[in-house]
Amino acid sequence: VLTDKKSLTAMMGIENGIVEIENIMSETFSAVRNSLLPVLMGVLAKNRHHDYPQRIFEQGKVVLRKGEEVVEKDSLALVSCHSKAEFTEMKQYLNFLMASLGLSYELKHLQHQSFIKGRCGEIMVNSSIVGIIGEISTEVLVNFGLENPEAAVELNLSAILQKL
């Protein structure tokens, strides 16, 4: 659950919502992850020498800061990295996953610094935000040393399980 602050913020193009560790022993473990996407981006960065396509996922705990409150939730993230990775591919995975759970959803346009403008959306179930989907921005790809396009989805499993 611990990771470095830089990959959560500067490398992803965002600066808020993280829980930092006081009296850190190492910059490598200076914050509690607020998203699984930076972790997956790091995995892809370390595996650039392997063949493409690369499609990976992770399920686990994340911690968000909302003002003075700290909230823990279960999250699921999927990332696809290859020369033709795009929004539609991630939407197909999302469609399958939501149908398997018997849930219907809608997408609402979202501007997010980690994603390409116009290629990102909030995932809504019963008018509640349960995730984000989109194509990772060029700036973020460069920050992680990645050359191929990436599409990603991250879901708040805690919120989705409440909808079942």
Q: Which residues contact 67 (CB under 8 A, 6 or more apart)?
A: none
pLDDT attached to residue 110: 96
Nearest to 122 by CA among 114, 135, 132, 112: 132
Confidence class for position 17, pLDDT limits 50, 70, 90: low
Segment 88-96 long-range contacts (CB within 8 Å, at least 24 positions apart): 89/151, 90/133, 90/134, 90/151, 90/152, 90/153, 91/133, 93/153, 94/123, 94/133, 94/153
Model confidence over 122-161: pLDDT tens digits? 999 999 999 999 999 999 999 999 999 999 999 999 999 9
The mean predicted confidence, pLDDT, of the chain is 91
Average pLDDT over every residue of 46-52: 95
- This prediction has a pTM of 0.90
Separation of alpha carbons 50 and 59, rounded Å: 23
What pLDDT score does 32 carry?
80
